[in-house]
């Protein structure tokens, strides 16, 4: 039996620790244990398999294996008509369907030269921000369950149900919505719906401090996340990490501010970033808290949008929808939006026909997951669950 070798790695999740772990694994490949986490665990954030190489509880290498949920979105999109693609975008990140509809519709509208009314833009913003809150409720609630807290999970999913009820009244769907169409919307807002939105914002505001008291600043929770799975800003930029994960590293980048669309430049809201409040900037706690603060900012945007709609005269929300997509302008475009998980981009090539010639989807979860192999070395096995939960991935978005 070979003699046990001590790695003598420095304490704490530092870059030096990661480099030492990599070096040890390369030099002594036969000394360690390979563990397959998945293709379901950890914490079933989707059908994901993580292959890890360990020395005891220490992770030396972590490799994500994907593709179990691949549904050929891009190939399907090249074989159906432009408006038929909208329901398929629902199923990319099924926790953020409204934002996916918005990204695809805006890309097509820019390619085709379609201008929508201010009322349509405002309704889109309101619906997208409601969906952002719903997404973060899922992310934070399931994350609390990963760490071992049951009550916050129930609380956050209860709040999400109110948003799903609003969506059901708005367009008939709760999860898969098919609401934002190329050139407009599938329905106008029903009578009395804005008042229910107002009631929800007033109801939701005190729930954020309640969540902070219950979970965010719970001693066990903070110690479990602080200084764990640190993703520095330079690593985020190298791997294309965007959204709350990038802002959690202290980078103030949000496409709603940096490259505004749908009139976002006219709304008053802030961009939360990680501050190293409980540990290092870019740790799991910072990524968690950015999402908590984003719920507050989305509530601000929703109130502003609702106020505008109350004063805005009604119009036909389908007026700009082309009567036929049999012949459209030829060309190519890349358009990106700030989806709840990060940058959602669509590269589209049109040959002027009723179907796209080429579609490429830049899914935020895919790029965000890629950083796992960089961050995993030096973590404990239990921290892999904390890492994946803090990144907030959906495998429908990763695999497409």
Handedness of CA 254, 255, 258, 263 (dihedral sign): negative
Distance CA 119, CA 135 (A): 24
CATH topology assigned to domain 83-323+365-374+382-399: Cytochrome-c3 Hydrogenase; chain B (1.10.645)
Q: What's the first-to-final CA gap in the chain, in angstroms?
A: 46
Quickly state the pLDDT bin for 40 (edges 50, 70, 90): low
What is d(CA 152, CA 389) in angstroms, rounded to the nearest whole number? 15
Give the 3-state secondary structure of residue 44. Answer: coil
Residue 336 phi/psi, 5-degree rounding, is: -130, 150
As a whole number, mean pLDDT of residues 323-345 equals 94
Q: How confident is the model at residue 8 (pLDDT cuts 50, 70, 90)?
A: very low
pLDDT band at 45 (very low <50, low <70, confident <90, very high): low
pLDDT at position 21 is: 58
Mean pLDDT of the chain: 89
Three-state DSSP at 139 gives helix
Dihedrals phi, psi of 188, to nearest 5 degrees? -80, 165
Dump pLDDT digits (tens) for 137-177: 999 999 999 888 889 999 999 999 999 999 999 999 999 99
Pairing of strands 184-185, 33-37: unpaired
Residue position matching structure tokens 């119009």: 315
CA–CA separation, 355 vs 84, rounded Å?
A: 9
How far apart CA 96 and CA 79 sit, in angstroms, is 24
Q: For residue 29, what pLDDT is reported?
A: 52
Of the candidates 267, 306, 307, 272, the residue with the CA atom closest to the CA atom of residue 288: 272
Question: What mean pLDDT do residues 358-387 have?
Answer: 92
Task: Indicate the pLDDT class of residue 42, thresholds 50, 70 and 90.
Answer: low
CA dist., res. 62 & res. 104, Å (int): 33
Residue 157: per-residue pLDDT = 94
pTM: 0.90
Residue 86 pLDDT greater than 90, yes or no:
yes
Q: What is the mean pLDDT of residues 21-33?
A: 61
Sheet holding 342-350, edge to edge: 331-339, 342-350, 358-362
Give backbone dihedrals phi and psi of 301, rounded to 5 degrees, phi first: -65, -40
Q: From its phi and psi, is residue 213 left (phi > 0), alpha (psi between -120 and 50) or beta?
A: alpha
Residue 336, strand partner residues = 345
Residue 312 reports pLDDT greater than 50: yes
pLDDT exceeds 60 at position 9:
no
* Per-residue pLDDT, 7: 38
Per-residue pLDDT, averaged over 182-211, amounts to 95
Report, as an integer, the average pLDDT of 72-89.
Answer: 95
* pLDDT score for 32: 80
Residue 11 has pLDDT above 50, yes or no: no
Residue 3 has pLDDT above 50, yes or no: no
């Amino acid at each position: 039996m070979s003699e046990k070798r001590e790695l003598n790695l420095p304490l704490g999740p530092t870059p030096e620790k990661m480099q030492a772990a990599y070096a040890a694994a390369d030099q002594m490949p036969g000394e360690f244990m390979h563990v397959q986490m998945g293709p379901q665990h950890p914490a079933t954030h989707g059908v994901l398999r993580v292959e890890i190489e360990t020395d005891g509880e220490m992770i030396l290498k972590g490799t994500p294996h994907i593709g179990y949920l691949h549904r050929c979105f891009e190939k399907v999109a090249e074989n159906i008509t432009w408006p038929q693609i909208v329901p398929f975008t629902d199923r990319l990140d099924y926790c953020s369907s409204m934002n996916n509809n918005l990204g695809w519709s805006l890309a097509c509208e820019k390619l085709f030269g379609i201008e929508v009314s201010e009322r349509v833009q405002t309704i889109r913003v309101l619906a997208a921000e409601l969906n952002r809150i719903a997404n973060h409720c899922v992310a934070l609630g399931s994350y609390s369950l990963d760490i071992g807290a049951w009550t916050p999970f129930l609380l956050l999913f209860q709040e999400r149900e109110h948003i799903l009820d609003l969506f059901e009244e708005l367009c008939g769907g709760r999860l898969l919505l098919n609401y934002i169409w190329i050139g407009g919307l599938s329905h106008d807002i029903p009578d009395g719906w804005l008042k229910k939105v107002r009631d929800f914002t007033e109801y939701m505001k005190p729930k954020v401090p309640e969540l902070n008291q219950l979970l965010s600043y719970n001693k066990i929770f903070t110690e479990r996340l602080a200084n764990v799975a640190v993703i520095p800003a330079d690593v985020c930029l190298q791997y294309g990490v965007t959204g709350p994960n990038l802002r959690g590293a202290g980078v103030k980048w949000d496409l709603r501010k940096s490259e505004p669309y749908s009139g976002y430049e006219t709304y008053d809201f802030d961009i939360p970033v990680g501050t190293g409040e409980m540990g290092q900037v870019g740790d799991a706690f910072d990524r968690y808290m950015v999402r908590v603060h984003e719920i507050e900012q989305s509530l601000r945007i929703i109130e502003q949008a609702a106020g505008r709609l109350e004063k805005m005269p009604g119009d036909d929300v389908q007026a700009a929808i082309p009567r036929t997509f049999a012949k459209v302008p030829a060309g190519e475009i890349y358009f990106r939006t700030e989806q709840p998980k990060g940058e959602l981009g669509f590269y589209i090539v049109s040959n002027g026909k009723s179907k796209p010639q080429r579609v490429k989807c830049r899914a935020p979860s895919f790029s965000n997951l890629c950083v796992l192999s960089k961050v995993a070395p030096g973590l404990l096995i239990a921290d892999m669950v904390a890492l994946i939960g803090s990144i907030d991935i959906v495998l429908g978005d990763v695999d497409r």
